[in-house]
Each structure stands twice: as structure tokens, then as C-alpha cells.
């Protein structure tokens, strides 16, 4: 089925919701135009990757050709030097065309974003700054050479939710570490060249302060990928399980200096919001699909359905939710900073919750309003519906955890003791 209608819809005022919110910089316009130039091809390939649960390797070749594997690599290291908000805008457009590509690209890109100016703004010793400068030069050179980085944190425990230290352990040895552990849902498994892993220093009574963030080469002896991959949605992410058994890595593998991850996590909370644009893009795509379908603006749809009042109301309701999500998205992505205020932190959580839940609501409404023929696998809609469902499950900010933190954060001031339940 042709995805050609996306060419015009992506350019429409609605799909460009972000262009209206704040003037785009020249760089943002240029990067989004580059995504638009390839996007329809990605949308067409998405049918096959979804059907086969296979990784969109060709899309990553495109991203490499576009220079996007260095999107958030600072310019002085040879990258494009996109800042946080620019990444979020560009990623939402990638998600518009292919959710799995955006979801996996987020994992690659976060490794660059988190090790760039974010670390520079944290409290580091001069020695830590020097070693970090050396290490990131190595990793950025890899990315610019076309190496793909993944970011498997999840372990199936409360660790990725920030409840307790990671179970994957790093034992100190001369000049590096030996890793042992397991990571579930490792998007890009089998396709990444490096896995950016969070693990805990093997010390007595470890805390979050003992978290290490290191890049493990995919070729490391002792690294295996196990389990099958046949999920509901986001099938192109190929997020299988990684087993790490006595893996030796050098100090150069560090993507952040020792002990700095915990500081980053508490002082830059917006770092955990970088999957939001994937699902913002999916929400916009589901809405645009519904409009195009009801107007019979797409191949394979010979009948217009837009004249029925019930359809008009349903589209209006979807539009209201979409605009609410975009509005929060724009505000929160503009509030990324070191030590944001309490209200900025709360708004970031509210944004993540809204986008992830509304994406699923909007896609579900689109299925209902378009009707039976539209959910055949020849159309993108049923995939958007399934992909949209995954956003709310993403740790560390699942929809449930967002509500949990919001509830506590809003009822208790910073440092206030918790009350006993009555
Ligand atoms: C398509 C897809 C791709 C993914 N890709 C990646 C990836 O590349 N990298 C990665 O790291 N992960 C990835 N994930 C995993 C994702 O981030 C979650 O870790 C995963 O969905 C959690 O599954 P679970 O069943 O263990 O979740 P849950 O059981 O819901 O949560 C895991 C743990 O978090 C704790 N927890 C849950 N809710 C709360 C709460 N309200 N308060 C406090 N603690 C709570 C619990 O201890 C629980 O055991 C991916 C997931 C999907 C669906």
C-alpha cells in the first residue's frame, strides 16, 4: 500500500504543529527536511519490518548517510551538534514515518546526548573531565564512522525504575572492569555495534551512586543475545535479551565518569523523556491517517466518509488531544536544563504521561472512526495502533511511574517526611 499521502500530510499545517509553536531554527528546518526526504520510504518499509519483526537496517544506512548517527555529537567533534530540543523535534518527525526507527534511533542518540554538554554542566573533578573528554572522543568517532549504539538498561526488576541499583555487576580490574549480568528488551539487539549498559560497581552495600554507564562492544567474548522477539508492537526494534558473562572492558568504555550517572539522573530529569517524540510522531501519524482515510485522500480508499457528523466529532476529539499533547511537548522540551524547578520537573512527568497515553488513545480512536476496512494489514493504521500501545511501558518513566511520582511530588514538598498510612 502506498504511503504517498504522507508527503502532503507531513507538510500540512497540522502535521507541522511544532513549526507553529515556536519558530524553527535554520538547523531544525534543515534536519526535518532531511527526514521528510526519506520518510515515505521508511513508512513503506515499515510494513515488512513489522510483519517480520526485523530491524530496519536500510533506514539506519539512510540515517548514517544523512550524518544522523552524529546528530547530537557536538560540532567540535565533527557531529551535527543538535541540542536537546532539536533532537526532540527531529525524532518526532522520524516517529511520524516509522515508530521502530525512531524508538531505536533514540537509543543510539541518547548515548551521544547524555555524554555531551549534559556531562559538562555537572560537578566533575578536573581528572574526570579529562578522562571523559578522552573517552567521548573515542565513542563519537565510532558513531561518526557509522557504528550504532544501543541502550539496554532494563533488567526486569525495579532497577531501571530507579528503585534500587542495577543487578548487572562491574568488578574492578587493572585498567577496566569485568561485567556480569542480564539486560532484557535490548532494542537493536544483533544490529548494534555497542551496547550502552548501566551496571553497578561490585562493592559492599552499593547504592545508585555506584552506577556505571559503559559501552560494551557487540563483539565482546561473553556477550550473547537470547530469546525470541514476537511482541505486540514496535516489532522492528528487535529488543531481545542480552547475557553478559565475564566481559572485560577497558576504562575507555565509560560513557560517563564513575559516579556521575546518579548525579545526571537527579539533576537532568528531562534526559528520561527522550522517547516521547517517537510517540508524539505516532500520534500525529494516526490522526493524519484518519483524516486522509475519511477524506479518501489515500490510495486504496475510493469512498469518502467525512460527511457523517459522528466522524467529524471523533476527529475533533482526536485533534483536541493531539493539540494538548503537542502543547505540553513543546513546553517541556523547552525546559530542559540543569536543576529544573519543581514545576518543570512535574511538567516533564505530566508531558511523558500525556504523550504516551494520548498516543494510544488517538490511535485507538482512529481505528474506531475509520472502520473495519482501515484495520486491514494493507494499511498502516493497525500497526500505529499496536506501536502506540508501547510508549506507556517504557521505563524509567512508564505512565504508571509518572503518576506515582507526580502524586508524591505534588503532595509533598522537597524533603518533607512521608506520613504513615492511617
Ligand atoms: C518495544 C520495546 C522496546 C524496549 N527497548 C528498550 C531498550 O532499548 N532499553 C531498555 O532498557 N529497555 C527497553 N524496553 C523496556 C522497557 O523500558 C521496560 O523496561 C519494560 O517494558 C519493563 O517490562 P516489565 O514487565 O519488567 O515492567 P514492569 O513490571 O511494569 O516494571 C519493571 C519493574 O519496575 C518497577 N515498577 C513498576 N512500576 C512501578 C511503580 N509505579 N513504582 C515503582 N516501581 C515500579 C517494579 O519493580 C517492576 O518490577 C523496551 C520495551 C519495549 C516494549
CB 406 less than 6 A from any atom of ligand 1? no
pLDDT of residue 19: 60
Our mutation pick for probing the ligand 1 site, out of 159, 395, 403, counting the most ligand atoms within 8 A of Cβ, is 395
Domain boundary among 258, 276, 310: 258
CA separation for the pair 155, 181 (Å, rounded): 9
Domain containing 162 — which CATH number? 2.40.110.10
CB 156 less than 6 A from any atom of ligand 1? yes
Our mutation pick for probing the ligand 1 site, out of 183, 394, 409, counting the most ligand atoms within 8 A of Cβ, is 394
CA separation for the pair 129, 111 (Å, rounded): 17
377 and 281 in a common domain: yes
Instruction: Look over the chain and give the mean of its residue pLDDT values, rounded to a whole number.
Output: 95
* Element spanning 144, H or E: helix 126-144
Kindly provide the b/e burial profile for residues 64-103, where b requires at least 16 CB atoms within 10 angstroms of the residue's own CB. bebebbbbbbbeebebbbbbbbbbbbbbbbbbbbbbbbbb
pLDDT of residue 15: 58
pLDDT of residue 21: 64
In-domain check, residue 61: yes
- Average pLDDT score over residue span 274-279: 98
Q: Does 317 have pLDDT greater than 80?
A: yes
pLDDT of residue 63: 98
In-domain check, residue 417: no
CB 153 less than 6 A from any atom of ligand 1? yes
Q: Does 79 have pLDDT greater than 70?
A: yes
Q: Does 316 have pLDDT greater than 70?
A: yes
pLDDT > 70: percent of the chain: 97
Confidence of residue 110 (pLDDT cuts 50, 70, 90): very high
Task: Name, in order, each residue with C-beta under 8 angstroms of 118's C-beta and a sequence gap of 6 or more.
Answer: 264, 268, 271
CA separation for the pair 55, 117 (Å, rounded): 30
CA separation for the pair 385, 359 (Å, rounded): 9
pLDDT of residue 161: 87
Residues 372-421: tens digit of each pLDDT: 999 999 999 999 999 999 999 999 999 999 999 999 999 999 889 988 87
CB 110 less than 6 A from any atom of ligand 1? no
Confidence of residue 139 (pLDDT cuts 50, 70, 90): very high
pLDDT of residue 238: 98
What are the helix (H) ranges across 201-338? 260-267, 276-294, 309-333
Confidence of residue 10 (pLDDT cuts 50, 70, 90): confident
20 vs 341, which has greater pLDDT? 341
Q: Would you say 381 and 375 are in contact if contact means Cβ atoms under 8 Å apart? A: yes
Q: Does 22 have pLDDT greater than 90?
A: no
Please tell me the total count of domains within the chain. 3
Residue 166's domain comprises: 149-258
Q: Does 17 have pLDDT greater than 80?
A: no
36 and 125 in a common domain: yes
Residues 149-199: tens digit of each pLDDT: 999 999 999 998 888 999 999 999 999 999 999 999 999 999 999 999 999
- Average pLDDT score over residue span 76-81: 98
33 and 156 in a common domain: no
CA of 396 to the centre of ligand 1 (A): 7
Neighbouring CB atoms inside 10 A of 11's CB total 11
Domain containing 106 — which CATH number? 1.10.540.10
286 and 381 in a common domain: yes
110 and 23 in a common domain: yes
Confidence of residue 85 (pLDDT cuts 50, 70, 90): very high
Residues 206-217: tens digit of each pLDDT: 999 999 999 999
Q: Would you say 185 and 395 are in contact if contact means Cβ atoms under 8 Å apart? A: no
CB 164 less than 6 A from any atom of ligand 1? no
Residues 344-375: tens digit of each pLDDT: 999 999 999 999 999 999 999 999 999 999 99
Instruction: Give 9-76 as a DSSP string.
Output: HHHSTTTTHHHHHSPPPHHHHHHHHHHHHHHHHHHHHHHHHHHHT---HHHHHHHHHTTGGGTTS-GG
CB 390 less than 6 A from any atom of ligand 1? yes
CA separation for the pair 407, 238 (Å, rounded): 34
CA separation for the pair 359, 284 (Å, rounded): 8
CB 407 less than 6 A from any atom of ligand 1? no
Task: Determine the length of the chain.
Answer: 422
On the 0-12 / 13-18 / 19+ scale of CB atoms within 10 A, 18 is buried
248 and 192 in a common domain: yes
178 and 127 in a common domain: no
pLDDT of residue 2: 73
pLDDT of residue 14: 59
Q: Would you say 225 and 288 are in contact if contact means Cβ atoms under 8 Å apart? A: no
In-domain check, residue 85: yes
Amino acid at each position: 500500500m502506498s504511503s504517498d499521502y504522507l508527503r502532503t500530510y507531513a507538510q500540512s499545517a497540522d502535521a507541522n504543529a511544532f513549526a507553529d509553536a515556536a519558530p524553527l531554527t535554520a538547523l531544525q528546518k534543515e534536519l526535518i527536511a532531511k527526514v521528510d526526504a526519506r520518510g515515505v520510504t521508511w513508512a513503506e518499509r515499515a510494513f515488512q519490518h513489522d510483519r517480520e519483526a526485523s530491524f530496519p537496517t536500510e533506514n539506519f544506512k539512510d540515517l548514517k548517510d544523512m550524518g544522523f548517527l552524529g546528530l547530537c555529537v557536538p560540532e567540535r567533534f565533527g557531529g551535527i551538534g543538535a541540542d536537546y530540543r532539536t533532537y526532540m523535534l527531529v525524532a518526532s518527525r522520524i516517529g511520524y514515518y516509522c515508530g521502530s526507527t525512531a524508538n531505536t534511533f533514540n537509543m543510539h542518540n541518547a548515548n551521544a546526548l547524555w555524554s555531551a554538554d549534559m556531562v559538562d554542566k555537572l560537578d566533575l573533578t578536573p581528572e574526570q573531565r579529562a578522562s571523559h573528554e578522552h573517552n567521548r572522543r573515542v565513542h563519537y568517532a565510532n558513531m561518526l564512522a557509522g557504528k550504532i549504539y544501543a541502550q539496554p538498561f532494563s533488567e526486569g526488576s525495579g532497577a531501571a525504575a530507579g528503585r534500587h541499583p542495577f543487578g548487572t555487576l562491574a568488578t574492578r580490574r587493572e585498567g577496566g572492569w569485568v561485567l556480569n549480568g542480564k539486560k532484557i528488551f535490548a532494542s537493536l539487539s544483533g544490529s548494534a555495534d555497542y551496547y550502552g549498559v548501566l551496571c553497578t560497581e561490585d562493592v559492599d552495600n552499593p547504592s545508585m551512586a555506584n552506577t556505571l554507564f559503559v559501552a560494551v562492544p557487540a563483539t565482546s567474548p561473553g556477550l550473547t543475545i537470547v530469546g525470541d522477539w514476537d511482541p505486540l508492537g514496535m516489532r522492528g526494534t528487535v529488543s531481545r535479551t542480552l547475557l553478559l558473562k565475564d566481559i572485560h572492558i577497558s576504562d575507555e568504555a565509560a560513557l560517563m565518569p564513575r559516579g556521575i550517572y546518579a548525579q545526571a539522573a537527579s539533576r537532568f530529569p528531562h534526559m528520561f523523556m527522550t522517547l516521547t517524540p517517537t510517540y508524539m510522531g505516532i500520534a500525529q501519524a494516526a490522526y493524519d491517517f484518519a483524516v486522509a482515510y475519511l477524506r479518501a485522500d489515500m490510495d486504496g480508499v475510493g469512498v469518502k466518509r467525512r460527511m457523517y457528523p459522528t466522524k467529524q466529532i471523533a476527529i475533533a476529539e482526536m485533534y483536541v488531544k493531539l493539540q494538548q499533547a503537542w502543547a505540553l511537548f513543546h513546553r517541556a522540551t523547552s525546559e530542559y536544563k540543569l536543576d529544573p524547578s519543581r514545576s518543570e520537573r512535574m511538567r516533564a512527568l505530566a508531558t511523558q504521561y500525556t504523550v504516551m497515553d494520548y498516543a494510544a488513545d488517538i490511535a485507538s480512536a482512529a481505528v474506531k472512526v475509520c472502520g473495519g476496512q482501515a484495520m486491514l494489514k494493507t494499511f498502516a493504521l493497525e500497526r500505529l495502533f499496536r506501536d502506540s500501545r508501547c510508549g506507556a511501558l517504557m521505563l524509567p518513566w512508564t505512565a504508571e511511574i509518572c503518576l506515582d511520582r507526580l502524586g508524591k511530588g505534588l503532595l509533598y514538598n522537597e524533603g518533607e517526611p512521608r506520613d504513615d498510612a492511617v
